[in-house]
Homo-oligomer: A and B are copies of this chain.
């Protein structure tokens, strides 16, 4: 029977995004189910299997018509699709691809959520037309994904693309969530941007709209920069320098064709990619000055697109 469909699944700590796609990557239907994290998350995969079955029954789709199920999870996944742990779900080591495939009778490919989102952006988003990209997701933390030759690079212990934990300041005294000090995440995540803003405000009494905002958010900082508030501009330049230098370092390693910038912070738009590009060009190996630095386009759907792309190979 001809293969016509694929499912994309993006498991988050509170909700699981699901999508039914045709094999060209068009969404036929997308929906969410709650993430049941009780009992070490033992219901997560059965719930996904049930949701897939329900969708297939409703549309009279045969198992043989489904190319596969792709699934992104919030934890490290090795190149064989084994999840090493998912703290948010209560999972330890779990061969997710194998288990979900047994439950559904459908081939399954699993990947880390940030890596899968990067693959989605390469396929249908900001990185369209490229086969080699690095995505950097600026959210509560900083995530990353490295796509080479159109495929996710998993790396040892599934830890390739952990861009958020690249050391950017060896003199940092505060600790990152990972236990180290001076990680990119401490400066360039939404949380990090606020942290740096507060440090700047405490330095002196320079007049700025940022003093009157409580609670202060990363969006406030970037909005202030857009409004040409002096401290806002200074913080944006600092952010651009930190990110541009980090991206230049990444280029020395894998020389991607494009960087895709996503996550909540990237809603600031072109003002952000422009300032990153400025500092990137200043620090990067001269042959790599023209690497594209673009905005992500798929938002929260990047994960289901990338999941589907994994099973189309």
A172 to chain B, nearest CB (A): 11
A132 to chain B, nearest CB (A): 7
Q: Considering the complex, give the chain B residue whose CB is closest to the CB of A179.
A: B286
Q: Are A252 and B165 touching (Cβ within 8 A)?
A: yes
- Max chain B CB contacts within 10 Å: which of A155, A241, A283? A155
A277 within 8 A of B: no
Question: Among B154, B253, B287, which residue has its beta carbon within 8 angstroms of that of A157?
Answer: B287
A290 to chain B, nearest CB (A): 8
Q: Are B165 and A285 touching (Cβ within 8 A)?
A: yes
A244 to chain B, nearest CB (A): 10
- Max chain B CB contacts within 10 Å: which of A132, A154, A182, A287? A287
Interface residues of A in 250-275 (CB under 8 A from B): 250-257
Residues from chain B with a CB closer than 8 A to the CB of A310 are: none
Question: Among B178, B248, B253, B287, which residue has its beta carbon within 8 angstroms of that of A167?
Answer: B248
Interface residues of A in 278-294 (CB under 8 A from B): 282-288, 291
Residues from chain B with a CB closer than 8 A to the CB of A285 are: 159, 162, 165, 178, 180
Interface residues of A in 134-163 (CB under 8 A from B): 134, 144, 146, 148, 153-163
Question: Among B132, B163, B248, which residue has its beta carbon within 8 angstroms of that of A252?
Answer: B163
Residues from chain B with a CB closer than 8 A to the CB of A253 are: 134, 146, 160-161, 163, 166, 249-250, 253-254
A245 within 8 A of B: yes
Q: Are B159 and A287 touching (Cβ within 8 A)?
A: yes
* Residues of A within 8 A of B (CB-CB), count: 45
User: How far, in whole Å, are A250 and B155 apart by their CA atoms in the complex?
Assistant: 11
A76 within 8 A of B: yes
User: How far, in whole Å, are A193 and B251 apart by their CA atoms in the complex?
Assistant: 25
User: How far, in whole Å, are A180 and B153 apart by their CA atoms in the complex?
Assistant: 29
Q: Are B245 and A167 touching (Cβ within 8 A)?
A: yes
User: How far, in whole Å, are A241 and B182 apart by their CA atoms in the complex?
Assistant: 15
Q: Are A157 and B254 touching (Cβ within 8 A)?
A: no
Residues from chain B with a CB closer than 8 A to the CB of A179 are: 286
User: How far, in whole Å, are A156 and B257 apart by their CA atoms in the complex?
Assistant: 6
User: How far, in whole Å, are A148 and B148 apart by their CA atoms in the complex?
Assistant: 10
Residues from chain B with a CB closer than 8 A to the CB of A255 are: 153-160, 162
Q: Are A167 and B288 touching (Cβ within 8 A)?
A: no
Question: Among B162, B170, B241, B256, which residue has its beta carbon within 8 angstroms of that of A283?
Answer: B170
Q: Can you identify 15 A-B contacts, CB atoms within 8 angstroms?
A: A144-B252, A156-B256, A157-B287, A158-B255, A159-B251, A159-B252, A159-B255, A159-B287, A166-B248, A167-B283, A180-B282, A180-B283, A249-B249, A249-B253, A253-B254
Query: Which 7 pairs show the lowest CB-CB distances between chains A and B?
Result: A155-B255, A160-B255, A165-B285, A166-B252, A156-B255, A253-B253, A159-B255
